Structure 1
């Protein structure tokens, strides 16, 4: 099997975890496996990434951001 025929598995540097209870509800943001912030919106995720020196051009790119427990529009408890 050639390298190009093997599946590519990437680990995004940014992981946004499940919504947590709070006022307002928030999601924890990990960068390189370390919890670095609480986010209440997509804007917060972009700001945290920028502070870490990560440029995010597409929040839907699974090689850049991994969304756990809901996508970028999920910010409230179900």
Structure 2
């Protein structure tokens, strides 16, 4: 269920805690969690899905508006 559509977060807090880096940021549209993408070393957004079962994320990168469903493994229209 989509509940959260926007965030002011601009870091992966889990990467910050681990003194790690990320490539791109993704936001969970169920709870607003912001994590790093699958191209990042720690893949925190995917790990969040695997533990929470919140299936839909969106890119929070400037100029990107796409969404992704982990269950269907498909992009979704905004």
Q: Same fold (TM over 0.5)?
A: no
Q: Quick check: which one's strand share is greater?
A: 1
For the pair shown, which has the larger CA radius of gyration, 1 or 2?
1
Pick the TM interval, shorter chain: 0.3 to 0.5
| Higher RCO, 1 vs 2 (CA within 8 Å, ≥6 residues apart) | 1
- TM-score, normalised on structure 1? 0.33
